[in-house]
Amino acid sequence: MTDFLFDEKDYAGTSVVLAREVWEEKLLSPAPTGHPEVAQYLEDVRLSISQPDIVFQSTRRRDS
């Protein structure tokens, strides 16, 4: 079973999940492939999804 760090609704009500495996392997792995500098910002990432300060409509994709 997948261990999720969060399952949050975005501004439009769409469910956004973050699996622990993705957080650890893709974000926390060493640079240049990962972004270990964001390790302390997990809660900020969650809040950015559920309570964004601003949302822009895509100029490339019509479905977003």
At 64 the pLDDT is 66
Residue 39 has, within 13 A of its CA and on its CB side, a CA count of 9
At 35 the pLDDT is 87
At 29 the pLDDT is 87
Boundaries of every domain in the chain:
4-50
Per-residue pLDDT, averaged over 32-37, amounts to 86
d(CA 26, CA 9): 22
Contact 7, 15 (CB under 8 A): yes
Output the pTM of the full model. 0.76
Per-residue pLDDT, averaged over 41-58, amounts to 94
